[in-house]
A and B are shown apart, each in its own frame.
Chain A
Amino acid sequence: MDRKKILIIDDESAFAEMVKLNLEESGRFLVQCESNPHDAVQSALSFFPDLILLDVIMPDIEGPDVVAKFRDEPLLRNIPIIFLTATIRKDEILDGGGLIGGHVFIAKPCSVNELISAINSQL
């Protein structure tokens, strides 16, 4: 089976590495981590992921601003994005049906299974 490519953009590189380990362990994903959100577009253009996991709050740039940059780039515009956030509780996200402002949100920390099913729902 073709492994899906996931790009994780998160300034917490330890967290990103752990996500990568878990996702790759499942044998279904190929994962690349980008800890500098300013390089996110460049990384995406070279890796060309099937899906992006994006941290919401990062130093000097926020997740939604990174999304705007992707939307400006025709080659990246249609790649699905899942937000990862530590500031919202899981039940608040569930109350919104997993969506906030039309975007899929996942509350940190969530289990690997929850993460994988969220990814599958967007692919």
Chain B
Amino acid sequence: MDFHRTLHVLIVENSEVDRTMLMGMLSHGAYGTFEADTVSTLKDAFAYLSQNHVDVVLLDLNVDDCGGITTLEKMNSRFPDVAIVVNTGSFQDDLGLKAVTMGAQDYLIKGSYKNYGLVKSLYYAIERKRAELELQQALKNLQETQGHLIRVEKMNIVGSIATGIAHEVKNPLATILYGIEYLDTALKERNDKIDLTLRSMRDATHKANNIIKDLLDFASQSELFVTEHQIEDVVDHALNLTHHQCEKSGIRIVKEYSRDTSRIKIDKNRIEQVVVDVVLNAILSMHRDGVLRISTQMKKFQLTDLHQMCDDRDVIPEGADVVIVDFDDSGAGIREEDMPHIFDPFFTTRRARGGVGLGLSIARTIMLNHKALIGLSNLPEGGARARLVFPVSGGG
């Protein structure tokens, strides 16, 4: 604590006598320098605090527009970072102690303190508030780190299971496929039913194999083959791949490409995979005549660009040049309760329709491997936005 620094105090007090007395005590000067202002209502206090830096508030609980512990609660919820010393009437120790348990840093009983006692309490409150805030921040960091570790651990487990499953399942799949191929060439008697049976069996086997391939994709941290691309070209190519599904579902694509996005260093195939996945998700969330609006832009990255959308935000430093691609659909949006889980492996809202729940977690892994970000959010006008953020100088 720097005792030579001028401390800014706001006195919230409805008694003019008390206000004058407190101002006098603080201007005494023997125990530090104070710059104090007074207000007599909570409303004026809020207005003052929004405009000025204040180190500590000396708060009378009974002001003109509020009374009792509610005064403290309102102050605390509106300005959680400011230190508060509650200044209560005589014989109100109970109220003072209650105030301390409810977020005040200290309390004083009017008439029972002199200059030194007041100043000491103010300093104490400021220090205690600082320690509380540090503790809160430390706890928050700890919880974030813990969440991150759990996620990493989960990924590792999925990874090792995936590789194991891949081997065990691919062998029987290969056997079935070769069985089908043999029957296809060796069967002399053919008719529509036999052809349909063989075709269905082959399709089903390929589908199962694709799921295994997804699992391996998810597990693999394999090297990226990075080259420079214009993101719009990559998106267009991915759109060609999904053209059929768009037509079938009656979805219209609207492109709003920026003309000035920089080329970025990416593994084209991997990023195409991400775009295909995002587009397919959007298609599945929309009814017929839905619109998928795809826009690109170039900007300096701000954390708010991924508002509540993902917890990997520190992958890209604030202020870095980024290329952003948004996929805004006109579908039902994402349910709030699903939001924390959308990137979890095996989380899907389409299990009944054959979803495995790996697409987005693979997409996220691919993006992180590029030191790039993917986020999802709901749009205010309805529908969901998938946002891809690529650092311009980056490239895994």
- Write the residues of chain A forming the contact surface with B, with a CB cutoff of 8 angstroms: 12, 14-15, 18-19, 21-22, 25, 57, 86-87, 89, 91-92, 95, 108-112
Contact B163 A112 (CB under 8 A): no
| Shortest Cβ distance from A56 into B: residue | B167
Contact B175 A18 (CB under 8 A): yes
- Write the residues of chain B forming the contact surface with A, with a CB cutoff of 8 angstroms: 163, 166-167, 170-175, 177-179, 181-182, 185-186, 205, 209, 213, 216-217, 220, 222, 225, 269
- CA of A25 to CA of B205 in the docked complex: distance in angstroms? 22
* A108 cross-chain contacts in B, Cβ below 8 A: 170-171, 173-174
Among B171, B179, B185, contact of A86 (Cβ-Cβ < 8 Å): B171
Other A-B pairs beyond A14-B172, A109-B178, 12, CB < 8 Å? A14-B175, A15-B175, A18-B174, A21-B179, A86-B167, A86-B170, A87-B163, A89-B213, A108-B173, A108-B174, A109-B173, A109-B209
User: Known contacts being A87-B166, A89-B213, A109-B177, is A15 close to B171, with CB within 8 Å?
Assistant: yes
Number of A-B residue pairs having CB atoms within 8 Å of each other in the complex: 63
Contact A12 B171 (CB under 8 A): yes
* A15 cross-chain contacts in B, Cβ below 8 A: 171-172, 174-175, 178
Contact A18 B178 (CB under 8 A): yes
| Shortest Cβ distance from B170 into A: residue | A86
| Shortest Cβ distance from A110 into B: residue | B174
* A22 cross-chain contacts in B, Cβ below 8 A: 178, 181-182, 185
Contact A89 B173 (CB under 8 A): no
* A14 cross-chain contacts in B, Cβ below 8 A: 172, 175
Interface residues of chain B: helix, strand, loop or mixed (majority):
helix
* B205 cross-chain contacts in A, Cβ below 8 A: 109
Contact B182 A18 (CB under 8 A): yes
| Shortest Cβ distance from A12 into B: residue | B171
Contact A109 B167 (CB under 8 A): no
Contact B170 A109 (CB under 8 A): yes
Among B167, B178, B185, B217, contact of A19 (Cβ-Cβ < 8 Å): B178
| Shortest Cβ distance from A16 into B: residue | B175
Nearest 5 A/B pairs, CB to CB: A18-B178, A109-B174, A86-B170, A108-B174, A15-B175
Would you give the shortest CB distance from B218 to chain A, in whole angstroms? Answer: 11
Contact A95 B174 (CB under 8 A): no
Would you give the shortest CB distance from A22 to chain B, in whole angstroms? Answer: 5
Contact B171 A21 (CB under 8 A): no
User: Known contacts being A86-B167, A87-B167, A89-B217, is A21 close to B222, with CB within 8 Å?
Assistant: no
- CA of A21 to CA of B236 in the docked complex: distance in angstroms? 43
Contact B185 A25 (CB under 8 A): yes
Would you give the shortest CB distance from B177 to chain A, in whole angstroms? Answer: 5
- CA of A108 to CA of B167 in the docked complex: distance in angstroms? 9
Contact A21 B182 (CB under 8 A): yes
Would you give the shortest CB distance from A101 to chain B, in whole angstroms? Answer: 16
Among B166, B186, B216, contact of A25 (Cβ-Cβ < 8 Å): B186
Q: 5 A-B pairs, CB-CB below 8 angstroms?
A: A14-B175, A19-B178, A86-B171, A111-B181, A112-B181
| Shortest Cβ distance from A84 into B: residue | B174
- CA of A57 to CA of B163 in the docked complex: distance in angstroms? 12
* B173 cross-chain contacts in A, Cβ below 8 A: 108-109
- CA of A25 to CA of B222 in the docked complex: distance in angstroms? 38
Contact B175 A12 (CB under 8 A): yes
Would you give the shortest CB distance from A40 to chain B, in whole angstroms? Answer: 18
- CA of A99 to CA of B213 in the docked complex: distance in angstroms? 20
| Shortest Cβ distance from B183 into A: residue | A21
Would you give the shortest CB distance from A57 to chain B, in whole angstroms? Answer: 6
- CA of A108 to CA of B170 in the docked complex: distance in angstroms? 6
* A92 cross-chain contacts in B, Cβ below 8 A: 220, 222
Contact A95 B166 (CB under 8 A): no
Residue from A15, A111, A112 having most chain B Cβ neighbours under 10 A? A15
Would you give the shortest CB distance from B217 to chain A, in whole angstroms? Answer: 7
* B216 cross-chain contacts in A, Cβ below 8 A: 87, 89
- CA of A95 to CA of B69 in the docked complex: distance in angstroms? 70
Contact A86 B182 (CB under 8 A): no
Would you give the shortest CB distance from A86 to chain B, in whole angstroms? Answer: 4
Among A18, A89, A111, contact of B179 (Cβ-Cβ < 8 Å): A18
Contact B181 A86 (CB under 8 A): no
